């Protein structure tokens, strides 16, 4: 049990603290009372370091990282599905109409300006109202 790295440390405990160690070390799956005390001291030291440094304790940081990882995975799946749907829609539209490269360049330029101007909060309804107000879009479809 003792290795070269173990250091003996005299420790005096009151009866209540000793009783707590005796009561809890097996329930915490510790092999010995010493292992339980080492875990408790490390836990408390990490807690104090977290308060002093403003750094989250390892358990909380791990939980946050786990939740963020799940959130990231969910967003990645949703973005993938959205990209598939968008590709299907664009393919269906382009199968029905003929557009030239100049029109697409102008459309992309206008779209980038619109998204920047609205900080990405542009809705389909806003765009439809804008098209009706400007009378734009009609030229492309009329012969």
Q: Does residue 94 surpass a pLDDT of 70?
A: yes
Q: What per-residue string of b and e applies to 52-90 under the rule 16 or more CB within 10 Å gives b?
A: eeeeeeeeeeeeeeeeeeeeeeeeeeeeeeeeeeeeeee
Residue 111 is predicted with a pLDDT of: 86
Q: What band does 87 get if pLDDT is binned at 50, 70 and 90?
A: very high
Instruction: Look at residue 120 and tell me whether its pLDDT is greater than 90.
Output: no
Model confidence at 143: pLDDT above 50: no
pLDDT at residue number 119: 83
């Amino acid at each position: 049990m003792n290795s070269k790295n173990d250091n003996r440390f005299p420790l005096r405990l009151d009866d209540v603290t000793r009783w707590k160690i005796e009561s809890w070390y097996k329930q915490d799956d510790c092999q010995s009372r010493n292992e339980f005390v080492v875990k408790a001291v490390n836990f408390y030291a990490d807690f104090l370091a977290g308060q002093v440094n403003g750094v989250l304790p390892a358990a909380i940081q791990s939980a946050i990282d786990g939740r963020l990882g799940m959130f990231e995975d969910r967003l990645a799946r949703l973005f993938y599905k959205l990209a598939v749907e968008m590709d299907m829609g664009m393919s269906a539209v382009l199968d029905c109409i003929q557009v030239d490269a100049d029109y697409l360049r102008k459309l992309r330029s206008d779209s980038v300006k619109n998204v920047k101007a609205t900080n990405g909060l542009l809705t389909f309804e806003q765009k439809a109202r804008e098209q009706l107000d400007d009378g734009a879009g009609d030229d492309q479809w009329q012969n």
